[in-house]
Structure 1
Amino acid sequence: MERRRLFQLMGSVALAPALSGLFWRRAEACTRVLWNSPGQSVIVGRTMDWPESTQPKLYALPAGMARDGGKLGGVSVVGDNPLQWTSKHGSLVAAAYDLGAIDGMNETGLAGHLLYLNSTDYGARDAARPGLQAGLWLQYALDCAASVKEALALLAPVQIVMVEAHGHKASLHLALEDASGDSAIIEYIGGRAVIHHGRQYSVVTNDPSYDQQLVLLRKMDEEHAFAPASRDMPLPGNMNPVDRFQRAAFFSRFLPQPHNTRQAVAAMFSIMANVSVPFGAPYKDFGTYNTEYRSVADLTDLVYYFQLTTVPSVSWTALARMDLKPGAPALVLDPDALDLAGEVSGRYRPVSVPF
């Protein structure tokens, strides 16, 4: 049983050399780790890595907002049958390019993250299904669902539509988790939604597709015995998705039972630091880039922690201190401030939401 659990959490070091060529072609790198052990707060961490700055801003978005899932930056990109809705739940999100939420959580404890997946194929547009441009995929889930199960049901009839911004296609997969510790990873492969739903799906990186990663890990589990963990155990150290997946899964397995939420959040930030891309790390296709920010969400106490890597401190927003009721103003916070630290709910300012 212990060996099977290890398989679920980590891959073999031997996988990385065989697959490394695949990931150098497109090296956009993000990592999500969910810590959902029984008897403690549910904590999730994420790194945001991209070939350039995503110009991140934090938005507090109240319930009652009307949205058009066919628009990107005010321009219609889904001509027929765009998905339209009014938000049921307030949320706190990190936006990319002011075009849509890439990370965040809502007031019920549902959280989600969009990560790059080179093999994404949303399929040909079927106008019989409501169309949702990929940049608003996460926001729709946070606006309308209170749990992973509810989000999956709401997304089932919807078709995600490919868009492009700043020279990059929105080739994405979506990771969701909630305050119960439930988890789901949604990918579009060959035009079809492939869903991995269950608490065990706690670590997500990028390519290959999740089912392929599981096959590779199963093969290694069947053919090789894992050595006892120790400080001498070799682990992959590069930044490609397989290496990051293995390190995140390996080290998250040994996280100590926290005595309080402060320890749990600090532990998750340590995992996120371990899989972050250092300044100056070389990438073949896109030059040099680094992890832009790290986020940690406490889904039990509804606190969102954020660390821009060019700012020396961690800031956090307690959703309980934000007015997310219908009719409240939307608020924004630019995290690029050297004095930004601690609880920062009072520093948000009213804004006209651009997405």
Structure 2
Amino acid sequence: MPNFTLRLLWSVCLLFLWSAASAQVSTPKYSNEFLHVGVGARALGMGNVQAALADDATAGYWNPAGLLRLQNRYNIGLMHSELFAGIAKNDFASFAMPLDSSSALAVSVIRLGVDDIADTRRLQNEFGYIQYDSIRFFSVADYAMLVSYARKSNLIPGLQLGANAKIIYRNVGEFANAWGFGIDAGAQLQRGNWQFGLMAKDITTTFTAWTHNVEALEEAYLQTGNDLPQNTAELTLPRVVLGVGKSFRFNDKFTALLATDIDFTFDGKRNVLLKSDVVSVDPHVGLELAYANTVFVRGGFNNYQETKNFDGGYTKRMQPNFGVGFKSYGFHVDLAMSRVSDSESNSISSINTSSVIVSLGYSFN
């Protein structure tokens, strides 16, 4: 793994130098933000609190160090969710396995996309008549593949370390596409009933190079008086997540797990709880109640927002999340409801802004 990581780092550096010479390089806010939506109904039902808790096939996404806590030899995780009233589809699949008593490996794939978008550029023919059969459809989708590796530390007992090498592909029909590369690193430590986690995403500043199909865009852009887009390169700045959790046992059957994650971003001022031009701090909290380690009820709060009203005042809100789960004989199914609107929202928009997430998992020896 160290040799692989070193070679990948050199590849990223060489690609950056080559693209920087031929394309405009920028560090936009919210770059590759599809990688921060979250995966797994357990995590999404707890407000995306997983840096210290991840211990299944989704750990490759949340914190690869958690792969060392896999209970079985082979672990499979699947998720499907629909956002914005089903307009966007978010899918995830992962396979994880321990290599030996001190190391583990996982491969994960993520897709977030909007399909069947109508391309009406040729709707009107040269005689001015509408031709509906000329409408074509395309997709806008973001993909990521994560190869995760975890290993126990030889220096500190109980310390687990992990890393992700990720490849990103983003596509806008025939009009544009992008390739990106980056590396994440994580750590977990358990002391009694306490769990601690650290996840550093995009520690090498993930590099994404965009290529535009000018021939496909030229006619439409010239007709509307817009400048043709140029090939560009984005750098995604690092994000650090600190997590801590504590488990409680009430009796032989009932247990609870309370945890919080704190996200630190460095790409400019965001609309979060604590913000500045240098760093923005976004906390979220989650709770999981379990009966016989079989039935689970979860809740959490995240996505703090402060919006300005028409009267000049401000409204502060946090997004509530709710979830349930069932686990037996290596099989587990989880459901979560996220993006729940508050009572002040219109009833129609309340339905449309809620998302149901379904995830399945199976582990066996």
| Pair in the same fold by TM > 0.5 | no
- TM-score interval w.r.t. the shorter chain? 0.3 to 0.5
Q: Work out which of the two has the higher radius of gyration on C-alpha atoms and give 1 or 2.
A: 2
Structure with more strand by fraction: 2
Query: Which protein has the bigger helix share?
Result: 1
TM-score calculated relative to the size of structure 1: 0.33
Say which structure, 1 or 2, has more relative contact order (CA 8 Å, 6+ apart).
Answer: 1
